[in-house]
Chain A
Amino acid sequence: MTVTVNDPLVRFVDVQKTYDGEHLVVKKLNLDIQRGEFLTLLGPSGSGKSTCLMMLAGFETPTHGDILLNGQAINNVPPHKRDIGVVFQNYALFPHMSVAENVAFPLTVRKINKTDAKKQAIRALEMVQLGSFADRRPGQLSGGQQQRVALARSLVFEPQLVLMDEPLGALDKKLREQMQIEIKHIHENLGVTMVFVTHDQDEALTMSDRVAVFNDGIIQQIEPPAELYERPANSFVANFIGETNTLCGEVLRAEGRECAVKLPNGAEITAQNVIAGQSGARTSVSIRPERVQLSEERPTATNVFEATVIETIYHGNHVRVSLDVAGQKDFRAMIRSGNIHADLNPGHKIFVGFSENDCRALDPISA
């Protein structure tokens, strides 16, 4: 079988994994990873994302199914022969070696002579702006610096694939954002395929070409970030990525791509029928808070409700408003600070409106 550039680098084919023989951690995974892409596996803890990464790295074996690398099944290839760089959550820098020795380690185990290895290691360290730290011990570096060293070490032997298991989890917010951009730039410059595991949705959205949202051992949706945010395929994704309002109800009429949903208090709402089903089916309608308009006058939008302001919180560039809409007390709206045309004091009655294009009728969540 010949491998062309267009073939995926990695394929998971019907992969299952169980640790105890009773409960499947990964249920039935089919996933293609394209050459040069930055793919993020996103999901809550226990969703199976790290297990997938460890199976790809070779530290876990699939209970069922195949993992193909360049078209070859690698289920029985030991980790050290896979040529995959891994960055671990706590960096796993070898404490008894200097920074340069750490970075040179993958080269020295490949029998590259010491001077060349050292040269390449220094070059890799310079790539992450740590050229002057070569002779220090990992323990003398800050968390962010250790992170960079780990990154340099996983890249120095030019692997075809780099895996990162929540590599930024231990860093503070500011450093994390800086590292996100830095990793992104390295990815763009080197063109290496990266698979990144995180439970932080912001991280996933800012860095990735595609994001695979995991829950319950299943990929819920795999799309580019914008797609994922704008068009979540189900309630889990809608709630996990970004913030959303959920209105539960029952489908009254399903007409083509649209449907009318009846809320418990009798009000009707027109929404995109994503996976709501036919009339009579239970559904939850998801609306992003920033797509909600608030006004004193009845607006012209398709879906308009009367609402009572419960609380208003000022966030600088935007204002968050908690509202009582159609009997639901935690309905949130996010309004840009310069765009407020209503009295948002608690207890005040106003109108909320939103377009039917921003309402997505998804699978019901048990509320």
Chain B
Amino acid sequence: MEQVSTNNNNQSEGLAQGEDEIPLKLKLKRAERMRKYRAMALIAPLFLFILGVFAIPIAIMMWRAIDNPEVVDNLPQTAIELSNWDGESTPTTALTTAFASDLVKAYEDKTASTVAKRLNYDVSGMRSLVTRTARKFNSTQPAMATMDDFIKADKRWADLRYWQALKRASSSLTPFYVLNAFDMKINDEGQITSVPEGQAIYTNIFWRTMWIAGVVTVGSLLIGFPIAYLLANTSSKVSNLLMFCVLLPFWTSLLVRTSAWVVLLQKNGVVNSTLINLGLINEPMTLLFARPGVYIAFLHLLVPFVVLPLYSVMTSISPAYMRAAESLGAHPAIAFVRVYLPQTLPGIGAGGILAFILAIGYYITPALIGGPQDQMLSYFIANHANSTLNWGLASALGMVLLVTTMILFSIYNRLTGASGVKMG
């Protein structure tokens, strides 16, 4: 690209000598136009594909983290009346009447359960409260409902916090899920506070995710660096064979590899029995459904991702640098630390960031090999997306991962410049 632009500059300088009336910039633009269109046409299929199946779905999922349609869509009258309510006084008859009629309508449309489920996220027990009330009002069909009618239907309605929860859920956008992902909530007074100790889980899991990803990143760098060094500094015959071994895991499906580890890491599995037979341990170690197994399987997955960028950086480092350093009086170890290592930093950065980003997002490995204490954010995202169907929270947790990744990447980019990431 640089080459091309330099040529263009030269051309335009040359043309500047001539007495043309069309500005040079314009002429250059015209001359380049066809090429630009061709480049765009070549990019277009991939761009549209990514936009359609990647960017837009992600944007939609992110939107779900703050989208809050349940109450607004299904209890429209109530939502309007709730916005007029101050949240502290006894709910007015206008509000209770609107709520009652909306509930009846929602019950007939079979959407009451959706509302109930949404409200239950905020205050547990509210699912039964709402569905029960809706059923009762459906049978009595009151033309006008007062606070007393609600208390008669279920005496919990006397407690204002259910109404407050209803009010909190009645805006079309909500910070509820995002706050939830950080173990925070809006309390009955409308302030942002931490959730009680017993309910706080996601911050813990976030830091657990970071810790596991950090450990395996450092581990795979420690394992990958010598391999990459050997690959870059050996005869092509040996390096081809080694490279084949490094790439071998890529040829097997992730699920198969992980399942294989399940077999190998069992109490009576190959790893344990080998170690016992070698006399290194007496009792079989708990590897499966525990942290060590997660680390082992992760390292196996991530080492190739570290080796490849490191290898590509190392092959570009001329052996003359080490020789020069040694001839200048540096002990080989000092030469390595002061001359070789700094030049591999772009590779260490690229490999490390790649491994870390992959690790914080991996789902299958901890899900199959880890115990309950080893589950990472992705497990909870999957759980909320597939089992509890709390898509808002799943999206908010996903957003946490995405933002973390982006922050890490921008830090890395700032440190190494955009040219830092090179693959292959």
Contact = CB atoms under 8 A, between A and B. Distances in A.
Interface of A: 57-59, 78-80, 82-86, 88-90, 92, 94-96, 105-106, 109-110, 153-154, 157, 163
Interface residues of B, number: 20
Query: By CB atoms of chain B within 10 A, which of A95, A109, A157, A163 has the most?
Result: A109
A78 B324 CA distance: 13
Contact of A59 (B318, B323, B329): B323
Given A92-B321, A94-B321, A80 B327 contact: yes
Contacts of B318: 90, 92
Query: By CB atoms of chain A within 10 A, which of B327, B332, B342 has the most?
Result: B327
A80 B329 contact: yes
A53 to B, nearest CB: 11
Contacts of A58: 326-327
B329 A86 contact: no
B324 A86 contact: yes
Contact of B327 (A85, A94, A95): A85
A163 B323 CA distance: 13
B329 A83 contact: yes
B343 A109 contact: no
Nearest to B323: A59
B320 interface: yes
Q: Is the interface of B mostly helix, strand, loop or mixed?
A: helix
12 contacts: A79-B323, A79-B327, A80-B326, A88-B320, A88-B323, A90-B318, A92-B320, A94-B325, A105-B325, A106-B330, A109-B329, A154-B327
Contacts of B328: 80, 85-86, 105-106, 109, 153-154, 157
9 nearest A-B residue pairs (beta carbon): A92-B324, A106-B328, A86-B327, A92-B320, A79-B326, A109-B330, A96-B342, A80-B326, A88-B320
B152 interface: no
A163 B327 CA distance: 10
Nearest to B328: A106
Contacts of B343: 94-96
Contacts of A89: 320
A86 B342 contact: no
A88 B331 CA distance: 18
Query: By CB atoms of chain B within 10 A, which of A59, A80, A96, A110 has the most?
Result: A80
Contacts of A154: 327-328
Given A86-B323, A86-B327, 19 more contacts: A79-B323, A80-B328, A80-B330, A82-B327, A85-B328, A86-B328, A88-B324, A89-B320, A92-B320, A92-B323, A94-B324, A94-B339, A94-B343, A96-B343, A105-B338, A106-B330, A109-B334, A154-B328, A157-B329
Contacts of B321: 92, 94
Contacts of A88: 320, 323-324
Nearest to A84: B327
A154 B326 CA distance: 11
Contacts of B324: 86, 88, 92, 94
Interface in B295-339: 318, 320-321, 323-332, 334-335, 338-339
B248 to A, nearest CB: 31
A80 B334 CA distance: 11
Contacts of B327: 57-59, 79-80, 82, 84-86, 154, 163
A92 B327 CA distance: 11
Nearest to B335: A80
Query: By CB atoms of chain B within 10 A, which of A82, A95, A105, A110 has the most?
Result: A105
B339 A80 contact: no
Contacts of A90: 318, 320
Nearest to A105: B328
B265 to A, nearest CB: 42
Contacts of A106: 328-330
A107 to B, nearest CB: 9
Nearest to A93: B324
Contacts of A110: 329
Contact of B331 (A80, A153, A157): A80
